[in-house]
Amino acid sequence: MSELTLKEVLNSSVRYLAEAGISTPRQDAEILISHVLGLSRVDLYLNFHWTLTPQEHQAVEELIRERGQRYPLQYLTGEVAFGGLILRIEPGVFIPRPETELLVECAVGVLGSSEFRSSIVRANSSCPFPVMNAGRRTGSGSPVVLDVGTGCGAIALSVAREVKDCLVYALDISAQAIDLARFNAQKLGLQERITFLVGDFVQITPAELRGKVDLVASNPPYIKKSDIARLEPEVRDYEAAAIDGGKDGLAYFRRLLPFAQQFLAPGGQLLLEIGEGQVQEILHLAEQTSFELVGIHQDLGGIDRIIQLRKKSHCLNQR
């Protein structure tokens, strides 16, 4: 393998990725080359005339080739930026998307609001059983959050980091996802406030949490099964299991809304990420399950992306 400068390797990688149909060829090439060389992307440009060793050149070529075959970028580097966090990610676990940061913003806003906080204290005072968390008895006043379908832990970890006193339950049907989420929590020093549970959310959520949860957050599988074949190869070939929302994309919501109705405290909130065009159907389901609408939040593309619902608070004594 002949010796080439960083600039030459970058330029040929960008050309290769562009020809392979990658929509962000320069960005992807920079990220992969930085990853191999252990440099920041800015440093690449400061060291354009460096010569790569044959081993470095070969490592870059392998990653660029795989990316050209539409293998997801984040699986190649093993990490993903989400909010202010860098999370470990691996094939088999859904890669968090920027839209979901909006859900986290909403969750942090709800949990930080003094109006919401005072309703928690009021409700807790009538609760005879303190909520259990990983074998510890928690004092009243700490908000309890469920992240249903946590994946690598993006929502659970972001909320736990921003809201210092909350207790989070992170659930996923995939044992691999939960192992990864637990790894990410340990890396960030957040494992003490997060309980990880593997299995179907309806079956594994501890019964003692019924009526005591303050916030349920979920970015569920919501893509119609028949639409998956039309998605970009990166998503279609590597993430189908995590996004399959059944025949009409609503299968998961049909189970999640009644579940949240049971587990939320009166006045507690449900934050759901939804797909484009699903808002009316979800509102219909919300009406059927006696939720009231708090708000609909749009993503940067102007698409209705997050639905914020509240469990009606006519029965505070349920908690």
Ligand X SMILES: C[S@@+](CC[C@H](N)C(=O)[O-])C[C@H]1O[C@@H](n2cnc3c(N)ncnc32)[C@H](O)[C@@H]1O
Chain positions contacting ligand X, by CB under 6 A: 94, 96, 100, 149-151, 154-155, 171-174, 177, 200-201, 219-221, 242-243
Distance between CA atoms of 272 and 276, rounded to whole angstroms?
13
CA distances from 131 to 1, 49, 265, 298 (A): 62, 60, 12, 34
Number of Cα atoms under 13 Å in the Cβ half of residue 313: 13
Closer Cβ to ligand X, 240 or 279, answer by number: 240
At 78, list the tokens: 């093993």
At 36, list the tokens: 């191999």
Q: In angstroms, give the least distance from the CB of 280 to ligand X.
A: 21
CB 147 within 8 A of CB 217: yes
43 annotated to a ligand binding site:
no
149 annotated to a ligand binding site:
yes
Residue reference for tokens 């979800």: 282
Q: In angstroms, give the least distance from the CB of 123 to ligand X.
A: 26
Closer Cβ to ligand X, 2 or 203, answer by number: 203
- In single-letter form, the type of residue at position 228 comes to I
Closer Cβ to ligand X, 52 or 154, answer by number: 154
Query: Kind of pairing, strands 264-273 and 144-148?
Result: unpaired
Phi, psi of 148 (to 5 degrees): -95, 115
- Is 4 strand, coil or helix? coil
Q: In angstroms, give the least distance from the CB of 234 to ligand X.
A: 14
Report which of 311, 304, 305 is spatially closest to residue 289, judged by C-alpha positions. Answer: 311
Closer Cβ to ligand X, 17 or 242, answer by number: 242
Q: In angstroms, give the least distance from the CB of 278 to ligand X.
A: 14
152 annotated to a ligand binding site:
yes
- Crossing angle, helix 54-68 and helix 6-19, to 10 degrees? 20
At 16, list the tokens: 């290769």
- Is 281 strand, coil or helix? helix
Closer Cβ to ligand X, 42 or 86, answer by number: 86
244 annotated to a ligand binding site:
no
CB 319 within 8 A of CB 211: yes
Q: In angstroms, give the least distance from the CB of 209 to ligand X.
A: 15
At 138, list the tokens: 């928690």
| Residue whose beta carbon is closest to ligand X | 149
Closer Cβ to ligand X, 65 or 97, answer by number: 97
Residue reference for tokens 């090439």: 29
128 annotated to a ligand binding site:
no
222 annotated to a ligand binding site:
yes
Closer Cβ to ligand X, 127 or 197, answer by number: 197
DSSP string, 159-211: HHHHSTT-EEEEEES-HHHHHHHHHHHHHHT-GGGEEEEES-HHHHS-GGGTT
47 annotated to a ligand binding site:
no
Q: In angstroms, give the least distance from the CB of 200 to ligand X.
A: 4
252 annotated to a ligand binding site:
no
304 annotated to a ligand binding site:
no
Q: In angstroms, give the least distance from the CB of 286 to ligand X.
A: 20
Task: List the binding residues.
Answer: 149-153, 172, 201, 219-222
Q: Which residues are annotated as a binding site for S-adenosyl-L-methionine?
A: 149-153, 172, 201, 219
The annotation places the binding site for substrate at 219-222
